[in-house]
Amino acid sequence: MDTPEFDPDCQVKGTAFTKKNYRDVYPAVDPTRPELSQDGKVVIITGASRGLGQMGFAVSFARANAAAIVLLGRSSEGLAKTESLVKEINPATKVLSISVDVTDEAGMNKAFETAVEKLGVPHVLVNNAGALVKLDTIVNTDVESWWKTQEINVKGTFIATKAFLKHTGDTPSEPTTIINLISMAAQGIPPGMSSYSPAKLAVSKFTQFLAMEHPTITSVNLDPGVAATDMGHGVPYLAPFIGDTPELSGGTAVWLATGDKSFLSGKYVSVCWNVEELESRRRK
């Protein structure tokens, strides 16, 4: 009996909301398009020392000609690498790297104050910092690692967002965007993710509250798909499905930070979905 051919895109197709779907950058989300220019904008990215923060968001906003990019992360060495990449791509973009733990409220508040003092009020926040501390069953997972996953993903997003809103105000005079990284794990019951899955579900709900409380700020849940990051490679059963590029996440984030995307505020968006089709259905 022949073994059915495995389709590495089955997860993308199974969660598709649009007719066309992508796993890499395509013209509509190409950050070098003049229509997606971030000229004049200050962008803050958490978890910027590696993975999506580095190769996706920082790189893409640099290509989109952001006026300034603030890189927040724990690894000074990783931040230096990200800063070097940004400067290589776009020497005109100002870069400020600050080593800080996203769960450190005092440290994060100071980091945002420093950013505003040196670069001005930010326009975009990408809450990218996240972690899956341990992949295991509930019985075998220790309380500390289970709760650490919650703290990094939920508490970290909360702290960064509060610090951001402190400087933008409730009704910012310029277009302002908050992008919260979530995961398709929030929609299912993936083995070993009893902490990570609920954490991303909590972030998703948190984004809905942001949209309700701050209607003039566009707050979106962004699912990066299954990307080739340390976290992605850390889940063995996801290996056959890895294929969504960090650049796709970065380009989609740039698109979300451009023009009026308020119709997506409080909602879930997968980087795999065709943004042109989303735009065409905005009235629905």
Q: Which residues are tagged catalytic?
A: 196, 200
DSSP states of 53-81:
IIIIIIHHHHHTT-SEEEEEES-HHHHHH
Pick the closest to residue 91 from 55, 133, 131, 63 (CA basis).
Answer: 63
Measured over the CA atoms of residue 217, residue 218, residue 221 and residue 223, the dihedral's sign is negative
Pick the closest to residue 52 from 180, 175, 162, 193 (CA basis).
Answer: 180
Contact 174, 223 (CB under 8 A): no
Q: Summarize the chain as % helix, strand, coil (round to 5).
A: 45, 15, 40
Query: Residue 21 and residue 105: Cα distance in Å, rounded?
Result: 38
For residue 114 the two structure tokens come to 């420093």
Query: Residue 114 and residue 141: Cα distance in Å, rounded?
Result: 38
- Give me the phi and psi of 223, to 5 degrees please: -95, 115
Element (H, E) at 179: strand 177-181
Pick the closest to residue 29 from 254, 257, 278, 263 (CA basis).
Answer: 254
CB atoms within 10 A of CB 35: 9
Contact 7, 13 (CB under 8 A): yes
Query: Residue 189 and residue 254: Cα distance in Å, rounded?
Result: 30
